[in-house]
Amino acid sequence: MKKKFWPWITAILLAALSISGVSQAQEPAITVLNPLGQPPAIERVPMAPRIGNLDGKTIYIVDIGFTDTHQLFTEMQALLEAKYPRTSWVVRTKRGTYFNDDQELWNEIKEKGHGMIMGVGH
Amino acid sequence: MRFENLVKTYIYKKGMPNMRFTFVPHPITGVAAEICRKYLQGNDPITGKSVLQEIIAALTDPLTSEDTKTGFIERPTPRLVEPDTADNLHKLFLENRWTDGLPIVLPTEARVAEMLKGTSHGADEFVGRMQPSSPHERWSYTVEKVAVNAVMAGAKPEHFPVILALASTGMTSISTSTTSFATMVVVNGPVRNEINMNSGIGALGPFSHANAVIGRAWTLMSINLGAAGKAGETYMGSQGNNYNYNNMCIAENEEALPEGWNPLHVQKGYKASDSTISTFMGWGFTHPDQSFGKDFAPQIPFWLKFVSPFSSATLLLDPTIIQQLKNNEGFDSKEQLIEYIQQNTKVTVEDWLDDFYAVQNFVLPMARLGNEPFASWMKLPKDELIPQFPNTSRISILSLGGGTNLFWQAGDFGYSRTVSVDEWR
């Protein structure tokens, strides 16, 4: 008697799978709104001309004021001075916190410097 | 490398995608000078090249034509997502990180239209701009965009003016900072009861639909309207903050305030009949115990010692505590208690200066600029006592809870601002 149940069970399973497949295929496509805000356009900023060689040049190393950046940059200054003695390596700390602008320093670098290294010792 | 994607995406958005950069091993904070030197003499952990040689090459190697390009890169956001089945759209939202990781309500046009009925403002009206923190770009958004995120959070039209008010602040709830900031939103005025916010028993718990969805909407808006929350790009919180799921969305228990104790929005110049939201920012709250047999106020300074001397303090007081302070200890207003706390919570100059991170990043730079009281405090003897909170505006007090016991919570949250909800009805 038991054997007679198997074809029925198989048929029911196949029917169930078939119904489920039909249901999936017929799930309607819906339209939803994009949740993202509008990013601003990006304005491409041309990079400053490079200096070719370092001889006789002044390079500013700017500490933005974050924790141990100053120590990292004074070490960097010492290493660069030893390796490139004909270049002037100037470490400066930006005024205020790292959120503040320092137009005076930028003006000074534009006037007296040939290049700038800026970074964060995080 | 933890910061590589941050740098690459940041310089792209600032218009210099080819800006030259190099890395040393991380961290640098607290590392001895000789270790710094060793790092500089070693290789960039990403490129494997000499750090010093990369610096010299960055200064001297000629530019390419790509480096000098000008013009604008537009990034329009389409209004609609490509039609698909609900299951696939849920998957898409999750994979695009447009959610907080939890299931959302799909923002169909019908649902968004229904949400828009919660305000008199037009769908295309500009609401504000939001950014993950001040150095990052600010994205803009309209009333409709806020409605989309409100739907996703599970909000109803009656919640929408509160959510719009939050959006109008332009304040993110998911700041980029490595310190893992959290935020809090406090609702005041008649709107609290109109939308059934919970300010009583379990006010901070998951027991109110309005509290839950308004707080969640702020998170979704911060992610989708404010470009926040992409770990490694616009989010760098080392440990993260669980408060970011709901942002401590609470309503002040104004009804439990005794005479003379004003609700927050009245303290900030609004009428009691106005409805407002106020935002706060900090890191966390704790649940201090207290000696029931003693006066409560003198215990507060002791418990606030865990708060950074350069931070703020917010106390969430159960109505039972407020009654004790008013009736047994003679504090007739929040302001009187705030002044007491400010005057009696002190630290030595030495302890204050020991808060390395805050002192290095904020106090010293401000003192160098002559900002008071920091410039003067820097010159005091190390054992001199100074106020832990430089002024009373750093301390906030809120009435919260159902009065089932004398408990309170204290945190390092600082008040940011209050805006009208009524203007967004």
ipTM score of complex: 0.93
Cα–Cα–Cα angle for B79, B277, B297, rounded to 5 degrees: 150
Is the pLDDT at A22 greater than 50? The verdict is no
The pLDDT of residue B291: 74
Is residue B54 located within the same domain as residue B180?
Answer: no
Mean pLDDT for the stretch of residues B198-225? 98
Is residue B337 in some structural domain?
Answer: no
* Residue, of B348 and B147, whose pLDDT is higher: B147
Is residue B297 in some structural domain?
Answer: no
Domain boundary pick from B68, B97, B117: B68
Report d(CA B136, CA A45) in Å as an integer.
Answer: 16
Cα–Cα–Cα angle for B182, B149, B243, rounded to 5 degrees: 15
Is residue B156 located within the same domain as residue B261?
Answer: yes
Is the pLDDT at A63 greater than 70? The verdict is yes
Task: Judge whether B139 and A40 are in contact, CB under 8 Å.
Answer: yes
Is residue B376 located within the same domain as residue B245?
Answer: no
A23-37, B168-182, B205-219: lowest mean pLDDT where? A23-37
Is residue B90 located within the same domain as residue B61?
Answer: no
Q: Which residue does chain A place closest to B77, by CA atoms?
A: A38
Is the pLDDT at B338 greater than 90? The verdict is yes
Is residue B99 located within the same domain as residue B177?
Answer: yes
The pLDDT of residue A28: 94
Our count of domains for chain B comes to 3
**pTM for the predicted model, two decimal places:** 0.92
Report d(CA B392, CA B394) in Å as an integer.
Answer: 5
The pLDDT of residue A6: 54
Is residue B134 located within the same domain as residue B61?
Answer: no
Residue matched to tokens 């004909």: A86
Is residue B265 located within the same domain as residue B372?
Answer: no
**B91-137: per-residue pLDDT in tens?**
999 999 999 999 999 999 999 999 999 999 999 999 999 999 999 99
Is the pLDDT at A7 greater than 60? The verdict is no
Task: Judge whether B424 and B164 are in contact, CB under 8 Å.
Answer: yes
Average pLDDT, whole number, for chain B?
95
In this prediction, residue B308 has a pLDDT band, given cuts at 50, 70 and 90, of: confident
Using CB atoms, which residue from B69, B83, B112 is nearest to A44?
A: B69
Find residues 141-200 of chain B whose CB sits inside 8 Å of chain A: 141, 144-145, 148-149, 152, 178
Is residue B40 located within the same domain as residue B117?
Answer: no
Strands A115-119 and A58-63 come out as parallel
CA-CA-CA-CA dihedral for B122, B128, B129, B131, to nearest 10 = -110
Is residue B156 located within the same domain as residue B110?
Answer: yes
| Mutation choice for A interface testing from B3, B19, B28, B357 by most A CBs within 10 A | B28
Is residue B96 located within the same domain as residue B22?
Answer: no
Is the pLDDT at B294 greater than 90? The verdict is no
In this prediction, residue A21 has a pLDDT band, given cuts at 50, 70 and 90, of: very low
Range(s) of the domain holding residue B381 = 347-387
Report d(CA B23, CA A121) in Å as an integer.
Answer: 10
Is the pLDDT at B200 greater than 60? The verdict is yes
Is the pLDDT at A1 greater than 50? The verdict is no
Report d(CA A92, CA A116) in Å as an integer.
Answer: 10
CA dist B366 → A100, B372, B377 (Å)? 10, 8, 12
The pLDDT of residue A20: 47
Is residue B125 located within the same domain as residue B240?
Answer: yes
3-state DSSP call for residue B391?
coil
In this prediction, residue A9 has a pLDDT band, given cuts at 50, 70 and 90, of: low
Is residue B47 located within the same domain as residue B98?
Answer: no
**Torsion region of B101: left, alpha or beta (phi above 0 gives left; psi -120 to 50 gives alpha):** left
**Per-position b or e across B23-38, b if 16+ CB within 10 A of its CB:** bbbeebbebeeebbbe
Cα–Cα–Cα angle for A64, B40, A51, rounded to 5 degrees: 70
Q: What is the percent of chain B where pLDDT is above 70?
A: 100
Is residue B241 in some structural domain?
Answer: yes
Mean pLDDT for the stretch of residues A23-37? 86
Q: Take residue B84 and report the two structure tokens written for it.
A: 């698909």
Average pLDDT, whole number, for chain A?
85
Is residue B319 in some structural domain?
Answer: no
Q: Which residues of A touch B26 (CB under 8 A)?
A: 122
The pLDDT of residue B1: 66
Is residue B400 in some structural domain?
Answer: no
CB pairs under 8 A between A and B: 201
Q: Which residue does chain B place closest to A87, by CA atoms?
A: B56
* CA count, 13 A, side-chain hemisphere, B22: 22
